[in-house]
């Protein structure tokens, strides 16, 4: 295995320092060499104690990563077929260190897309970290684990158009899988602190591994990823190590989900649209149970869920959202059929947790401009709730750019992509 430690190691004096305008960080020949190395070998420099094997695993990774600080890349390799993207000089699968919701060291995975274009005149690539929409809670739902025949492929690739727009403008795009997706441990669905941790640790890991990347970054996300992006820009969370956050863009961020649950909860039938909400509710319940054993016991052993819902509980760790929404899984249950004798208690606790962790309550940083894009036809992130979110942020003194698009929940990201990319480049030019 070849090593390119000299190319990929970040200089010790790098943090917080930007090169003077007009001074190239590398010569043109070195720029080309870096891209060739990235294409052939994933610019891999995991360290002497973690050498990649043919299976994509590291022989010493089981123990070596635990001694690394959160936000450190420990493994790099070529990305899978469904993660390849036109406009990327290389598409790389990475594993990096993070911290889970229990405060314990953990591994996370993601995708890094390096642009084909040369770096900017000031010598460094801008960095955007993009959070994906909900795909599920099973390991196979991690976007980097996608396959051509995956039923979840559409959602896994939903951020591709935003990435293409950014790559064409010379931006490095990093796309984390989130805690528990593709790596050990559960995925704490819609937990803001977990999502923010994944985003900023991905940023630190990527910027720390490639010295061609500058010290400013923007965070973007769609749906669950919008929740991730906004939490990342909250004053409750620190910035990524060695980096300065200069903007946040949230596409159809999910807010006031507890009210959507209230609307469908009593319905005795299932139908297109309702089936997806039931599947999402199952993911929310599983996310709460993953960090609260008392709640899990209520759901599974003390009558919180119906016998059919208990029977289908393992599907939440086995299937992705598309299949969860199907008639043979959670999507085949009407909302009222999910609840057991103590279902009211479980639903009340779920609503309380959703409201408590809602993005509308976040104390957003005043120094970070916000952009929010909404779909007028969105049946998940409902337009009135999104507009209330925008107004709440503005009332608190935040700088919010707001755009509406004639599209549903998923297509809004593609429709808004060019405008979002332009807005991001304006942040880097300031």
The span from the CA of 325 to the CA of 128, in Å, is: 31
**What's the confidence (pLDDT) of residue 261?**
81
pLDDT in tens, 4-50: 222 233 333 333 333 323 323 233 333 333 343 333 333 333 333 33
Domain positions in the chain are 27-255+364-429, 268-356
Give residue for tokens 């190319």. 7
Judged against a pLDDT cut of 90, whether residue 61 lies above it is answered with no
Q: What share of the chain is helix, strand, coil (3-state, %, to 5)?
A: 40, 20, 40
The span from the CA of 63 to the CA of 76, in Å, is: 17
Judged against a pLDDT cut of 70, whether residue 273 lies above it is answered with yes
Q: Give the lowest-confidence range in 53-62, 81-90, 179-188, 318-327.
A: 53-62
- Helices and strands, number each (H, E), in the chain: 16, 9
Judged against a pLDDT cut of 50, whether residue 239 lies above it is answered with yes
Judged against a pLDDT cut of 70, whether residue 81 lies above it is answered with yes
Contact 255, 360 (CB under 8 A): yes
Token digits of residue 149? 């025949």
How confident is residue 263, by pLDDT bands cut at 50, 70 and 90? Answer: confident
pLDDT in tens, 351-370: 999 999 999 999 999 999 99
The span from the CA of 205 to the CA of 202, in Å, is: 5
Chain centroid to Cα 70, Å, comes to 17
**What's the confidence (pLDDT) of residue 123?**
62
Q: What's 25's DSSP letter?
A: S
Judged against a pLDDT cut of 80, whether residue 382 lies above it is answered with yes
CATH architecture of 27-255+364-429: 3-Layer(aba) Sandwich (3.40)
Measuring CA to CA, which residue among 41, 36, 38, 63 is closest to residue 50? 63
The span from the CA of 343 to the CA of 349, in Å, is: 10
Contact 189, 228 (CB under 8 A): no
Token digits of residue 338? 């999910």
The span from the CA of 357 to the CA of 256, in Å, is: 10
Phi first, then psi, for residue 280 (nearest 5°) are -65, -40
3-state secondary structure of 294: helix
> pTM of the predicted model, to two decimals?
0.86
Contact 209, 174 (CB under 8 A): no
Pick 416 or 65 by higher pLDDT: 416
pLDDT in tens, 242-261: 999 999 999 999 999 988 88
Q: What is the mean pLDDT of residues 305-320?
A: 97
Pick 345 or 58 by higher pLDDT: 345
Q: What is the mean pLDDT of residues 300-305?
A: 96
Give residue for tokens 């956050």. 245
Judged against a pLDDT cut of 70, whether residue 349 lies above it is answered with yes
Token digits of residue 49? 């104690």
Contact 389, 372 (CB under 8 A): yes
Q: What's 68's DSSP letter?
A: S
**What's the confidence (pLDDT) of residue 265?**
74
Sheet of 73-78, strand order? 73-78, 88-99, 105-115, 172-176, 125-131, 213-222, 244-251, 370-375, 400-405
User: What ranges make up the beta strands (E) of 50-206?
Assistant: 73-78, 88-99, 105-115, 125-131, 172-176
At residue 152's C-alpha, the angle toward residues 315 and 86, to 5°, is 155
CA dihedral 202, 207, 212, 218 (to 10 degrees): 70
Q: Give the lowest-confidence range in 39-43, 123-127, 344-348.
A: 39-43
The span from the CA of 232 to the CA of 127, in Å, is: 15
Judged against a pLDDT cut of 70, whether residue 290 lies above it is answered with yes
Average pLDDT for the chain = 85
Measuring CA to CA, which residue among 95, 59, 58, 65 is closest to residue 79? 95
Phi first, then psi, for residue 231 (nearest 5°) are -65, -35
Q: What is the mean pLDDT of residues 287-299?
A: 95
3-state secondary structure of 397: coil
How confident is residue 120, by pLDDT bands cut at 50, 70 and 90? Answer: low
């Amino acid at each position: 295995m070849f090593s390119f430690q000299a190319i990929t190691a970040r200089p010790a004096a790098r943090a917080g320092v930007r090169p003077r305008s007009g001074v190239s960080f590398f010569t043109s020949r070195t720029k080309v060499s870096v891209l060739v190395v990235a294409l052939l070998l994933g610019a891999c420099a995991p360290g002497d104690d973690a050498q990649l094997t043919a299976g994509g695993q590291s022989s010493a990774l089981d123990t070596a990563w635990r001694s690394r600080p959160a936000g450190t890349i420990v493994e790099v390799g070529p990305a899978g077929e469904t993660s390849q993207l036109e406009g990327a000089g290389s598409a790389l699968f990475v594993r990096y260190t993070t911290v889970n919701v229990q405060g314990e060291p953990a591994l996370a995975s993601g995708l890094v897309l390096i642009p084909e274009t040369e770096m900017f005149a000031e010598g460094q690539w801008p960095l955007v970290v993009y959070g994906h929409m909900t795909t599920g809670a099973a390991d196979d739902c991690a976007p980097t684990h996608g396959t051509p025949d995956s039923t979840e492929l559409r959602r896994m690739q939903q951020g591709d158009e935003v990435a293409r727009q950014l790559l064409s403008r010379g931006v490095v795009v990093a796309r984390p899988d989130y805690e528990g997706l593709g790596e050990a441990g559960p995925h704490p669905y819609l937990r803001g602190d977990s999502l923010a941790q994944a985003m900023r640790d991905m940023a630190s890991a990527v910027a720390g591994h490639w010295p061609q990347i500058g010290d400013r970054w923007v965070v973007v996300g769609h749906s669950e990823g919008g929740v991730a992006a906004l939490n990342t820009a909250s004053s409750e969370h620190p910035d990524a190590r060695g980096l300065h956050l200069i903007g946040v863009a949230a596409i159809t961020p999910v807010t006031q989900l507890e009210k959507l649950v209230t609307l469908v909860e009593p319905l005795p039938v299932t139908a297109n649209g309702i089936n997806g909400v039931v599947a999402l509710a199952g993911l929310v319940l599983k996310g709460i149970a993953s960090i609260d054993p008392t709640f899990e016991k209520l759901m599974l052993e003390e009558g919180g869920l119906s016998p059919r819902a208990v029977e289908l509980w393992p599907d939440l760790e086995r299937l992705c959202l598309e299949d969860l929404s199907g008639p043979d899984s959670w999507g085949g249950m009407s909302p009222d059929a999910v609840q057991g004798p103590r279902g009211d208690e479980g639903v009340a606790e779920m609503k309380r947790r959703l409201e408590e962790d809602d993005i509308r309550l976040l104390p957003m940083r005043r120094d970070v401009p916000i952009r929010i894009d909404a779909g007028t036809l969105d049946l998940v992130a409902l337009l009135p709730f999104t507009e209330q979110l925008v107004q709440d942020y503005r009332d608190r003194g935040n700088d919010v750019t707001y755009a509406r698009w004639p599209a549903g929940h998923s297509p809004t990201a593609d429709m808004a992509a060019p405008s979002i990319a332009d807005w991001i480049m304006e942040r880097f030019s300031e």
